[in-house]
Structure formats: C-alpha cells, structure tokens
C-alpha cells in the first residue's frame, strides 16, 4: 500500500498502479460475481466489472422495470441475468446491492445461499452495523467485505467510460478464507475505483450517512434555499437569484475547487469577493456546526438508520419519495434552474 500524507496525517491507500486490473482479474478468476439489485450501484458496478473482464451475473426481480433496464444494458436472460434466487445460487461473490431497507426483507433468502467459502459483498456498512435493527448477521464461514464508491453509481459508470475513476473505501468485516483482503481490493479495482482507502463498516456508515445528509446533499439544498429566498424577498428576479446561488457554483466555481482547492478558486475571484468570502465563511461554519453535531449524534445513535428503515420499507415508499422530489422540482428555485440549464449554450 502506498503511504501518503493527507494534510499532515499519514494514511495508506491502494492505487491501481500497485494493484493492477490484471492482478484483480487473477484473484477473482474462478468466481461468479452476482450483482443482486439493479438500482443505481448495480448497473454502475456490474457494467464496470463486466467491461473489466470479470465473470458477472445480475440477479433481479423478473417483470420489474429494473429487469427491463438490465436487458436494455446488455444482460442476457438465462445467461447473465437471472431472478434473484437463481443468481444467489450461482454466485460465489454475492454483491448485496438492494436498497438498504430491501436488504432486510431479502436477508433470509440470501443467508440460505451463503454456503461456506462464499463472499458477501456490501457497498455500505449499514446492514451489519445496525444488525439489531436489520437482523443481518452473516454466517461465520463466509468472507464479509465492503467496497463503497464515494459517489453515485451513475458517476461511477460515467467516469469509468471516460477512463477516469471514483474513489472508494474498502473494509473487511469477516475474513473466513484468509483471503478477504486481496479479494476486497480486487473487487474495488474491478468496479472501477480510482484508488481505495481503508475503513471499517461502522466508520463507513457513520461518515456516509453524515455526508449525504450534510454537505453533499441535505445541507447544500438547505443553504441554497435560504440564500435564494433572501434574494427573492429583496426583489431579485428568479434568474438572478438562481445564477447567484447555484448556476455559478456548479458551472464556474466548483470545477475550480475540484481542480485545485478552495484557496485557488478564491484566488481566481476578485479581491472584493475574496475579502467577503474570507470574512463570512467562519460565521457560516459557526452557525451550522451545531446542526452537523446534532446530525452526527443522530447517526451514531441509530436514529437515522431507523428512520431510513421505517420509511423505506413501506410498500408505497417510492411514490412518497417521488412526491417529495416533485416538491423540490416544482419549487420556484429549481424551476428557474431548469430554464437556466436550457439556456446553456451547449444545450441549444
């Protein structure tokens, strides 16, 4: 593993150079990798592994939209696409990529097919960390591993196709074969990770649940909405408010942050902007830190997991989510956003 200095802290990471794809293929050459579930991660990881030369099959409910999507993506019924039980039977590595809530309902079926020597693979520490709530307790004679791409399965696939890669964390919960380490790294390389950093199941789930509720998804929408509202309440037009809140960030400034860090983005703005940003980031930090602390505690206590399980286990959870997503989509801010996006020169 390469030792690198992350802001003064030494960490070990696994790069593609030290664990090349050929080695990953060699490690898993006798395996049948069964991707169970074809939502967001299923297609990303499954297609990347297939294109990387691994022996991959998909297990999905027949007569479902996602079965049809799998067929459209090139998986062949009876050859590489099976119903869930058949895929569980054939797979030696079971990639459990159903939604976290659905993993609970299907667990007794999965467990039945986890014969000694098989590998149970997750992309989230959720199921086993919150085992008191999920009932997911793997048998002792299987390897239990995790590769969690740090981003959407959609980006995982897109970046792979572009010859790039998302970073992933990896963890070992149970090493029954003594080979779990090389097998988890081989899976991580196989799904198209740019590099891999080690964690454990607990740290993965607590950081991941915090991140997506926080700056990655929840907090960002909250801050956008607050600023947009203040601008509108003070007489600014929707296009001005949207451009000054979202469009400039995603189109101009975040790419600069991604490329070379925050100070470099600041340095590419006016001295007036820099003065203001340097003065104001601290009050924003102070105002939001208590919310992040509350969030982290709610994750740590298992409350966030329980909410997710309860809400996403209801038979009509999809319809209810769709109503809430539609509320966002139909808000003035995001409707203004749709118009702004349509005006991007590359779209016209």
Which residue numbers are catalytic?
124
Nearer to ligand XAI, 119 or 123 (CB): 123
- Would you say 123 or 245 has its CB closer to ligand NAD? 123
Question: Between residue 281 and residue 340, which ones bind ligand XAI under the rule CB under 6 A?
Answer: none
Q: How far is the CB of 305 from ligand XAI (least distance, A)?
A: 12
Yes or no: say if 243 and 339 are a contact pair by the CB < 8 Å rule: no
Give the x/- contact pattern for ligand XAI in 207-246, rule: CB under 6 A. Answer: -x---x---x------------------------------
Query: Three-state DSSP class for 4?
Result: strand
Chain CA centroid to CA 290, Å:
25
**Rg of the chain over CA atoms, in angstroms?**
22
| Beta carbon nearer to ligand NAD, 102 or 256 | 102
Q: Which does 125 bind (CB under 5 to 8 A by kind): ligand XAI, Mg ion, ligand NAD, none?
A: none
Residues 288, 292, 297, 303: is their CA dihedral positive or negative? positive
Contacting residue, 153, 190, 192, 337, with ligand NAD by CB under 6 A: 153
Q: How far is it, in rounded angstroms, from Cα 145 to Cα 170?
A: 8
Residues in the interface with ligand XAI (CB under 6 A) total: 5
C-alpha atoms less than 13 angstroms from C-alpha of 166 in its C-beta half-sphere: 23
Of 23 and 158, CB closest to ligand NAD = 158
Q: Spell out, one character per residue from 44 to 63, where the chain touches ligand NAD: x when CB under 6 A holds, - when not.
A: -----------------x--
Give the per-residue contact string, 118-137, with ligand NAD (x = CB under 6 A; - = no): -----xx-x-----------
Q: Are 312 and 99 in contact (CB under 8 A)?
A: yes
Please provide the DSSP assignment of 204-241 as one string.
Answer: HHHHHHHHHHTTTTHHHHHHHHHHHHHHHHTT--HHHH
Q: Which of residues 84-113 bind ligand NAD (CB under 6 A)?
A: 97-100, 102, 105-106
Nearer to ligand NAD, 192 or 232 (CB): 192
Per partner kind, with CB cut-offs from 5 to 8 A, the member of Mg ion, ligand XAI, ligand NAD, none near residue 99 is ligand NAD
Task: Check binding of 68 to ligand XAI (CB under 6 A).
Answer: no
User: Site for Mg ion (CB under 5 A): which residue of 128, 205, 208, 246?
Assistant: 208
Token representation of residue 109: 């079926």
Render 153-183 in DSSP notation, one character per residue.
HHHHHHHHHTT----EEEEEEE-SSS-HHHH
In the complex, which residue's CB is closest to ligand NAD?
Answer: 39
Q: Nearest CA to 144 among 193, 96, 99, 192?
A: 96
Long-range contacts (CB closer than 8 Å, 24 or more residues apart) made by 8-13: 11/197, 12/197, 12/198, 13/195, 13/196, 13/197
Roughly how many angstroms between the first and final C-alpha of the chain, as a whole number?
47
Helix (H, G, I), strand (E, B) or coil at 346: helix
Backbone angles phi, psi at 4, to 5 degrees: -130, 155
Of residues 144-183, which lie at the interface with ligand XAI (CB under 6 A)? 151-152
Contacts with ligand NAD by CB under 6 A: the residue count is 23
Confirm whether residue 248 is marked as ligand binding. Answer: yes
Q: Which residues bind Mg ion (CB under 5 A)?
A: 208, 212
Q: Which residues are annotated as a binding site for substrate?
A: 270
Interface ranges with ligand XAI (CB under 6 A)? 151-152, 208, 212, 216
* Residues binding ligand NAD (CB under 6 A): 37-42, 61, 64, 66, 97-100, 102, 105-106, 123-124, 126, 148-149, 152-153
Q: Which residues does the annotation place in the binding site? A: 208, 212, 244, 248, 270
| Known binding positions for Mg(2+) | 208, 212, 244, 248
């Amino acid at each position: 593993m390469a030792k690198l200095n992350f802001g003064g802290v030494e960490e070990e990471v696994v790069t593609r150079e030290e664990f090349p794809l050929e080695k990953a293929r060699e490690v898993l050459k006798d395996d049948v990798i069964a991707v169970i579930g074809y939502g967001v991660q299923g297609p990303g990881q499954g297609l990347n592994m297939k294109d990387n030369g691994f022996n991959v099959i998909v297990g999905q409910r027949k007569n479902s939209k996602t079965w049809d999507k799998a067929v459209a993506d090139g998986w062949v019924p009876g050859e590489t696409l099976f119903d869930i039980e058949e895929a569980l039977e054939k797979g030696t590595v079971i990639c459990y990529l159903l939604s976290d809530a659905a993993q609970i309902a299907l667990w007794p079926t999965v467990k039945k097919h986890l014969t000694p020597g098989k590998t149970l693979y997750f992309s989230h520490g959720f199921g086993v960390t919150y085992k008191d709530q999920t009932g997911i307790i793997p048998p002792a004679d299987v390897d239990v591993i995790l590769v969690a791409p740090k981003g959407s399965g959609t980006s995982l696939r897109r970046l792979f196709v572009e010859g790039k890669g998302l970073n992933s964390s990896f963890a070992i919960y149970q090493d029954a074969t003594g080979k779990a380490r090389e097998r988890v790294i081989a899976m991580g390389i196989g799904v198209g990770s740019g590099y891999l950093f080690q964690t454990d199941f607990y740290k993965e789930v607590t950081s991941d649940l915090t991140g997506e509720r926080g700056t990655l998804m929840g907090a960002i929408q909250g801050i956008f909405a607050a600023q947009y509202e203040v601008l509108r309440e003070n007489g600014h037009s929707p296009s001005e408010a949207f451009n000054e809140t979202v469009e400039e960030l995603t189109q101009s400034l975040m790419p600069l942050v991604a490329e070379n860090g925050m100070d470099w983005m600041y340095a590419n703005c006016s001295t007036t902007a820099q003065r203001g940003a340097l003065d104001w980031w601290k009050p924003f930090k102070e105002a939001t830190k208590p919310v992040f602390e509350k969030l982290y505690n709610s994750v740590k206590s298992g409350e966030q997991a329980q909410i997710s399980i309860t809400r996403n286990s209801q038979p009509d959870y999809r319809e209810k989510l769709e109503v809430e997503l539609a509320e966002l989509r139909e808000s003035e801010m995001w409707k203004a956003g749709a118009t702004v996006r349509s005006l991007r020169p590359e779209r016209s």
